Amino acid sequence: MKKLKQIIVALIILAAFGCKTTSAQQWVADTLTVSVWFPDTTRSSANIKTVNDNRNCSPKLLSVYEEKKLLIFPVDQVVQTTKPLSSIIQKQLSTPTSETSAFDIDIQQFNIERTSSMFKNQYKLYASIGIQETGAPATTGTLYYEQTTTQNRKATDETAYVNVIQNWGEKFTSDLHAIGHGLDTMIAGSVPRFRRGSPPAGQNFYVETEFFAGLRFWGIDAALWFSEPEGSTIFNRSIRMMRYVEHPNVRAIAFGRDIRRWNYRLNDRWLFDNKIVLLFGINNWKDMDTSAHKLEEILYMNTSFTQRVTFNQRDKSGLIFGVGVIEDVHYIIHHRIKLNIGVSLSCAYKF
């Protein structure tokens, strides 16, 4: 027992010296400061008069994600810029000129989500930028951005964040140039990220129930999730969900996280939704009174693919419903893999 205590104390001391500083605050959050710069070619299309940062956070903040110290201790990693984001945009992306329209910019959202897997890191930028043209007639609206960058885990985080923001800067200045020349009104869909005349939309909260059934099975899915405003025609969302399903000889309840939903926006009201599910759970055999089952047969593995056409108004709250087909595959140890095909009906409310 005494030796165990000594080992624990040694681990704590080692972890303390393993931090970047000896400050007690570093147990709460480490800080990565990123020096952001833009090529001269990026700023040539934009004439930005003022930039206001309306985010409810530090004006330098880019991202917060969790890291492990010594593979054990969770530490929040804070990523920030050397100067306020509004100052960087104002000084590095704007080229004042009388030949192009000038804009006042309001940053409503600007954050980068970082996730990691065994071989790569993924950086996903979400941004909502309100714009107002200073001349007459004044153009107002909101630009939405949703872009993903993937890199090898051996590359540095600082380089990745700079690349993500530089890619955004190229799109942003190009969009301002197009809007200033009225390209979005002359050619529909030429600036797909721009909602003319619309105020910035916030994050939505979804509550969804889906019923599916085939010849030899039926089930119900339940899910809750938050969704960012749509930044492109094609976008992905990741949710957590629970499923209850009935088969002829067994019923099961299963859970899953990081369920992928691939969406294609058909128009402002309708979208095509493809849900890819991988679930693990437990089952209850219906013939327990007449047949013996091994303990491991309680485990239930399920994957399914659902394609639906869904009524979901862009940037608006309200009722959502969809109809489609489902291809369901489930496996129980010592039994054959089974495939079922059915129809799917979903109903949700978007707050």
> Do residue 180 and residue 267 come from a single domain?
no
> Do residue 118 and residue 263 come from a single domain?
no
Contact 36, 168 (CB under 8 A): no
> Do residue 39 and residue 175 come from a single domain?
yes
Which of 196, 226, 250 is the last residue in one of the domains? 196
- Is residue 10 in some structural domain? no
CATH number at 214 reads 2.40.160.20
> Do residue 189 and residue 209 come from a single domain?
no
Contact 223, 208 (CB under 8 A): yes
d(CA 87, CA 135): 23
> Do residue 35 and residue 174 come from a single domain?
yes
> Do residue 288 and residue 246 come from a single domain?
yes
Please list, residue by residue across 184-220, b when 16 or more beta carbons sit within 10 angstroms of its beta carbon and e when fewer do: beeeeeebebbbeeeebbeebebebebebbbeebebe
- Is residue 9 in some structural domain? no
- In 3-state terms the chain splits into helix, strand, coil percentages (rounded to 5) of 20, 50, 30
Kind of pairing between the strands at 250-265 and 120-133: unpaired
Domain count, the chain: 2
Which residues are bridge partners to 156 per DSSP? none
Which of 174, 196, 218 is the last residue in one of the domains? 196
- Is residue 12 in some structural domain? no
> Do residue 128 and residue 214 come from a single domain?
no
d(CA 240, CA 223): 6
d(CA 265, CA 317): 16
- Is residue 253 in some structural domain? yes
* The dihedral sign for the CA sequence 73, 74, 76, 79: positive
Which of 178, 196, 214 is the last residue in one of the domains? 196
**Tens-binned pLDDT, residue by residue, of the chain (351 aa):** 554 444 444 444 334 434 333 333 344 558 889 998 888 777 766 788 899 999 999 999 999 887 766 666 777 889 999 999 999 998 888 877 766 778 999 999 999 998 887 778 889 999 999 999 886 667 789 999 998 888 887 778 888 899 999 999 999 999 988 888 888 788 877 788 999 888 888 889 999 999 999 999 999 999 999 999 998 889 999 999 999 999 999 999 999 988 999 999 999 999 999 999 999 999 988 887 667 778 888 999 999 999 999 999 999 999 999 999 999 999 999 899 999 999 999 999 999
> Do residue 314 and residue 185 come from a single domain?
no
* The dihedral sign for the CA sequence 169, 172, 174, 176: negative
- Is residue 102 in some structural domain? yes
Secondary structure letter of residue 228 according to DSSP: P
Entry pTM = 0.79
> Do residue 46 and residue 77 come from a single domain?
yes
> Do residue 180 and residue 227 come from a single domain?
no
Q: What is the pLDDT of residue 19?
A: 39
- Is residue 293 in some structural domain? yes
Provide the 3-class DSSP secondary structure of residue 97: coil
Q: What is the pLDDT of residue 71?
A: 61
Range of the domain at 208: 204-350
Q: What are the tokens at 95?
A: 């080229």
CATH number at 45 reads 3.40.50
- Is residue 3 in some structural domain? no
- Is residue 41 in some structural domain? yes
> Do residue 289 and residue 157 come from a single domain?
no
> Do residue 158 and residue 229 come from a single domain?
no
